[in-house]
Amino acid sequence: MVFAGCASTGEYTAPASSSIPFVEVGRSPDTFKGQTVTFGGKVLTAKRSAEGTRLEILQLPLDSSLKPTHDLRKSQGRFLAIKKEFLDPATIPAGTFVTVTGEVTGAAMLPLDETEYRYITLTIAALHVWPTEEERPARLRPYPYYIMPGPYWGPYWYPYWWGPWPYW
């Protein structure tokens, strides 16, 4: 039980999926129907409907651990991810960063502000919600060495520690 907490690396391993770029799927979603893709981004809305829980997500590029980047300027569009089983929208509030692996089901035209927008639609096979900085355990947060002045500041603060020899 002690080692269970150490097993998590904080990375997401997607189920067997292809690496089809978001832009290609966006150009012709019907061509990619039935194919499995992995996209990530920032949740804009989460709503329950007759078909399941629908997440509207602002697409963001994924890093090597499949975590979405936080630079919103790199977004290439929006997509809808639908979870057939019950998923409480309150558990995924707006602003949450997620990685979604699912099957492309096509596209849907929905209003966005004063225009019609074509969303890529996916059926969710796997959903990973990334914790915010505040939700991460303190031991995983980076230690702020940069705010401590002087060459002797560190994990053993001066004057309590001068070196490898005992302090008498």
- Mean per-residue pLDDT for 105-128? 94
36-49 vs 115-130, strand pairing mode? unpaired
DSSP state of 131: P
Predicted local confidence at residue 3, as pLDDT: 40
Average pLDDT, the chain: 80
* Residue 4 pLDDT exceeds 50: no
Predicted local confidence at residue 5, as pLDDT: 41
Predicted local confidence at residue 72, as pLDDT: 93
Q: What separation in angstroms does the CA of 63 have from each of 23, 40, 60, 84?
A: 17, 10, 10, 27
* Residue 6 pLDDT exceeds 50: no
Q: Give the confidence band of 131 by pLDDT, cuts at 50, 70, 90.
A: confident
* Most confidently modeled range among 3-7, 54-58, 145-149: 54-58
Q: Which amino acid is at 68?
A: P
Query: What is the Cβ-side half-sphere exposure of residue 37, based on CA atoms within 13 angstroms?
Result: 28
* Residue 151 pLDDT exceeds 90: no
52-60 vs 78-83, strand pairing mode? antiparallel
Predicted local confidence at residue 86, as pLDDT: 87
Top CATH class, 15-132: mainly beta
Four-point Cα dihedral 112, 116, 118, 121, nearest 10: 60
- Mean per-residue pLDDT for 144-165? 51
pLDDT tens sequence across 26-71: 999 999 999 999 999 999 999 998 889 999 999 999 998 899 999 9
Q: In sequence order, what are the residues at sequence separation of 6 or more whose Cβ sits closer than 8 angstroms to the Cβ of residue 73?
A: none
Predicted local confidence at residue 144, as pLDDT: 53
